């Protein structure tokens, strides 16, 4: 891909600058086919970059068919016939979502059943959640504040809970105020309210492909059309295709799960998040972000949401993955649409139960959520690897076993099994 094709305004990373420079030399004939490219160490020394950055540049050249790797020999310029110009981004047209009645009935039939393994859920084992501490908090609230069960729903959420949400947001680069936060019945309601507040029925919404199947059901029920944006080879949304869609003025809203995407389990790099949010702001596109899985990321660093790069992003999240799935407490933040979202909430479910809001606030204030994330971080990679290895073993059920190909998503890995 020549330098001229890089979208304007997008800063090039160090490895990408090196990649483009070598590609220009190859296209100009300065490096003929089968010419040995400089080694990783030579590139690192010559351009004052790390070995990792130099290797990434060479791997990118290989992915784009400008170079071939030969064992124990290094990287060489690829034959010309292997290099094909990258086609321009194809802008998909908005389309109606196919009827999901049969699938919906099957899914609803499973909900509530006592299955040993639920592949339709993305929750951890109950032992990973602070159930004992939550039970103790419930008993203490029932004893000290029994009036909570008799009180009517008031306001946009329990003040200390919203303050705790805003305080925790500082850790991942977001400056939120309690006045811009609305407590909801789970993150699904938060997403639904955000969509209803920003997109009229019949308009088009951009979604990642693949995406969470419940999101498609929600968009269909809201009478919204979708434009799918495919993932890049790295597993997250293709930013070039997405920005081309923004510039075409085809969609008004982009809904994304930028951190730990479901089902691919990938996280968009920060430089891509900054680029996407900047282009969305310039083209008047609203980003609605589901950050439910942000606190469950493997490793010590919690990834920044897109909201950290733009104050215009509508941020939705909840405690179902970190505190307990059963409390069904979520929240939505918006600097510009919070009043409309609040009005829609009031005329649909009025508010979230006071008892559960106080329980969630007490749990967060006592730092019950922190050790939960820590224990999940330690155990999840090992469990994911074990689960993935089991999924890849041949079935013992014989030839009668269904031959469908199923995507088994294991944390940050997505494997396909026969």
Q: pLDDT tens across 99-150, in order?
A: 556 666 666 666 656 666 666 666 677 777 777 877 777 777 767 777 666 6
Using one digit for the tens of pLDDT, what is the confidence trace for 156-180? 667 888 888 898 899 899 999 999 9
Cis peptide, bond prior to residue 263, ω within 30 of zero = yes
Compute and round to an integer the Cα radius of gyration of the chain.
24
The residue ranking higher by pLDDT, 87 or 323, is 323
What is the Cα–Cα distance from 30 to 26, expressed in whole angstroms?
A: 6
Domain boundaries defined on the chain: 14-77, 101-369
Architecture of domain 101-369: 3-Layer(aba) Sandwich (3.40)
Rounded-to-integer distance, Cα 59 and Cα 65, Å: 10
Domains 14-77 and 101-369 share a fold: no
Helix axes 40-47, 51-63, angle to 10 degrees: 120
Distance of alpha carbon 217 from alpha carbon 231, whole angstroms: 21
pTM score of the predicted model: 0.65
366-400 confidence digits (pLDDT tens):
544 443 444 444 445 555 555 445 544 444 433 33
When the candidates are 1.10.10.10, 3.40.50.1980, 3.40.50.2300, 1.10.8.420, the CATH number that belongs to 14-77 is 1.10.10.10
Q: Which two tokens stand for residue 106?
A: 């099957």
Q: Is residue 266 scored above 60 in pLDDT?
A: yes
The residue whose two tokens read 């809970």 is 161
Q: Please tell me the predicted confidence (pLDDT) of residue 116.
A: 63
- pLDDT at position 145: 73
pLDDT of 115: 64
Average the pLDDT over 330-358 and give the result.
Answer: 82
Q: What's the confidence (pLDDT) of residue 385?
A: 54
Mean pLDDT of 279-306: 90
Q: Determine the pLDDT at residue 351.
A: 66
């Amino acid at each position: 891909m020549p330098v001229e094709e890089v979208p304007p305004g997008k800063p090039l990373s160090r490895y990408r600058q090196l990649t483009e420079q070598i590609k220009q030399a190859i296209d100009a004939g300065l490096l003929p086919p089968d010419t040995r490219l400089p080694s990783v160490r030579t590139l690192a020394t010559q351009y004052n970059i790390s070995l990792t950055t130099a290797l990434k540049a060479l791997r990118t050249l290989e992915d784009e068919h400008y170079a071939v790797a030969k064992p124990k020999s290094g990287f060489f310029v690829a034959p010309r016939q292997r290099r094909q110009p990258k086609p321009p981004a194809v802008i998909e047209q908005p389309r109606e979502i196919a009827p999901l009645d049969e699938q919906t009935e099957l899914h609803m039939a499973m909900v509530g059943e006592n299955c040993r393994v639920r592949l339709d859920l993305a929750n951890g084992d109950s032992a990973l959640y602070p159930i004992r501490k939550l039970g103790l908090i419930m008993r203490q609230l029932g004893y000290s504040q029994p009036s909570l069960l008799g009180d009517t729903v008031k306001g946009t959420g329990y003040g200390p809970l919203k303050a705790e949400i805003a305080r925790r947001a500082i850790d991942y680069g977001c400056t939120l105020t309690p006045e811009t936060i609305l407590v909801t019945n789970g993150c699904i309601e938060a997403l639904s309210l955000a969509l209803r507040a920003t997109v009229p029925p019949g308009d088009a919404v951009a979604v990642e492909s693949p995406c969470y199947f419940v999101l498609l059901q929600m968009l269909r029920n809201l009478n919204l059309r979708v434009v799918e944006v495919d993932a890049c080879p790295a597993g997250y949304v293709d930013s070039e295709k997405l920005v081309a869609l923004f510039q075409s003025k085809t969609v008004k809203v982009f809904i994304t799960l930028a951190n730990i995407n479901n089902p691919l389990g990938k996280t968009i790099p920060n430089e891509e998040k900054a680029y996407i949010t900047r282009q969305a702001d310039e083209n008047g596109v609203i980003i609605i972000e589901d950050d439910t899985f942000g606190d469950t990321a493997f490793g010590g660093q919690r990834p920044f949401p897109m909201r950290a790069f733009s104050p215009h992003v509508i941020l939705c999240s909840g405690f179902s993955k970190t505190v307990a799935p059963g409390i069904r407490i979520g929240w939505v933040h918006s600097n510009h649409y919070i009043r409309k979202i609040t009005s829609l909430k009031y005329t649909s479910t009025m508010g979230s139960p006071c008892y559960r809001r106080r329980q969630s606030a007490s749990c967060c204030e006592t730092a019950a959520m922190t050790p939960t994330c820590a224990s999940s971080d330690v155990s999840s990679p090992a469990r994911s690897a074990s689960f993935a290895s089991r999924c890849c073993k041949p079935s013992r059920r014989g030839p009668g076993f269904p031959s469908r190909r199923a995507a088994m998503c294991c944390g940050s890995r997505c494997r396909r099994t026969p």
